[in-house]
Amino acid sequence: MDAMPKWADVILIPLISILLAAVLSALVIVAIGESPLAALQLMIEGALGSTYGWGYTLYYATNFIFTGLAVSVAFHARLFNIGGEGQAVLGGLGVALACLYIPWPHWTLALLGASVMAAVFGAAWAAIPAFLQAKRGSHIVITTIMFNFIAAALLNYLLIGALKAPGMEPATPKFPEATQLPSFQDMFSFGEATLFRGAPANVTFFVAIAACVLVWVLIWRTRLGYEIRSFGQSESAAKYAGISPTKIIMVSMLISGALAGMMAINNVQGEAERLVLNAVEGAGFIGIAVALMGRNHPFGVLVAALLFGFLYQGGAELALWTSIPRELIIVIQALVILFTGALDNMVRMPLQRLFLAMRRA
């Protein structure tokens, strides 16, 4: 028998954790001499007050949905994929190669081709740490951290070398017209009314939603998902049930890497329309916070990604209009990871005691 009802586990605990993170963030804002309420109002206005703001919020959220799903699929197999950053970098490389060297006739085909390349490159970058974990028992956290650095250096090397466009900037040439994805402005502006003007949200958002559904189907409605979850719950029980640990580690990490890599169709193909240095901008790491907050459920990931999209766009507005630097968002992100992840038991233990006491009464 569980100590707590399910709703407390799924909703109450994350809510309290987020509240704690929010209170501490507010204290930080007070400590640097600004008003948290005014800051929140500014963030809401900047991120949700116009279709332009929404366009940015949804653009960031798209990135975080992919990386959050990536982290959560690995979490289901009890693997901590901290390498989403590197996998997304490699995904960007795949997208760039697909867009630059294949003459696509139409953006729909380009989207399909680039998605496949992004997924393959991201998965390939996750494959080596996965293999080392499965066959050599080397810790996946350490190897994926190392692979983040190696990916950054590799991209750096290619962007000042083989892939560099003429000019000073370390970036690839602009992708051809036919590969450019329709933005929300193209899709949702009718006649006179121009919505989402200049915002980078694009058709990839719907790919991300589809990815959420597919991951849900995979984890809860397929045999493979069942195997991944049982491996994550108990490795020895999974082994007795005839589930191969090597297969689960490899497959779940490949899926995870592919999802992280697919983030690149949003930021590289959809927004920048060329590959630049530091294109991922830490979205791979935010995936950790998103997955923890979303309790590894695709719907939770979607909600958490929207929240972080809001924080990102709101944070940019704050940096623009107040003396609060953008790095405040990193602090909030850290507090969310701390309270929903590492200090989970701090909230859970007293609550469990409370529910047990209530049941006895």
Partner 1 sequence: MDFATLLQMLDATLRLATPLLLACLAGLYSERAGIFDIGLEGKMLAAAFLSAAIAAVSGSVWLGLMAGIGASMSLSVVHGLASITFRGNQLISGVAINFLAAGLTVVIAQSWFSQGGRTPQLSGGARFNPITLPFAETLQNVPIIGPIYYELISGHTALVYVALLMVPLTWWVLYRTRFGLRLRAVGENPAAVDTAGVSVIYLRFAAVGICGILCGIAGAYLATALQAGFVKDMSAGRGFIALAALIFAKWRPWYALYACLLFGFLQAMSLRPDVIERVLSFQVNGQLLDVLPYILTVVILAGFVGKAIPPRAGGDPYVKER
The contact set with partner 1 (CB under 8 A) reads 28, 31-33, 80, 82, 128, 132, 136, 138-139, 141-143, 145-147, 149-150, 153-154, 156-157, 285, 288, 292, 323-325, 327-335, 337-338, 341-346, 349
User: Which lies closer to partner 1 via its Cβ, residue 37 or residue 349?
Assistant: 349
CB of 246 to partner 1, least distance (A): 15
CB of 7 to partner 1, least distance (A): 23
CB of 1 to partner 1, least distance (A): 18
User: Which lies closer to partner 1 via its Cβ, residue 28 or residue 224?
Assistant: 28
CB of 266 to partner 1, least distance (A): 22
User: Which lies closer to partner 1 via its Cβ, residue 326 or residue 359?
Assistant: 326
CB of 344 to partner 1, least distance (A): 6
Measured between alpha carbons, how far is 153 from 122 in angstroms, rounded to an integer? Answer: 16
CB of 103 to partner 1, least distance (A): 31
User: Which lies closer to partner 1 via its Cβ, residue 19 or residue 210?
Assistant: 19
User: Which lies closer to partner 1 via its Cβ, residue 56 or residue 147?
Assistant: 147
User: Which lies closer to partner 1 via its Cβ, residue 203 or residue 335?
Assistant: 335
User: Which lies closer to partner 1 via its Cβ, residue 85 or residue 271?
Assistant: 85
CB of 128 to partner 1, least distance (A): 8
Three-state SS sequence of the chain = CCCCCHHHHHHHHHHHHHHHHHHHHHHHHHHCCCCHHHHHHHHHHHHHCCHHHHHHHHHHHHHHHHHHHHHHHHHHCCCCCCCHHHHHHHHHHHHHHHHHHCCCCCHHHHHHHHHHHHHHHHHHHHHHHHHHHHHHCCCHHHHHHHHHHHHHHHHHHHHCCCCCCCCCCCECCCCCHHHCCCEHHHHHCECCECCCCCCCCECHHHHHHHHHHHHHHHHHHCHHHHHHHHHHHCHHHHHHCCCCHHHHHHHHHHHHHHHHHHHHHHHHHHHHCCCECCCCCCHHHHHHHHHHHCCCCHHHHHHHHHHHHHHHHHHHHHHHHCCCCCCHHHHHHHHHHHHHHHCHHHHHHHHHHHHHHHHHC
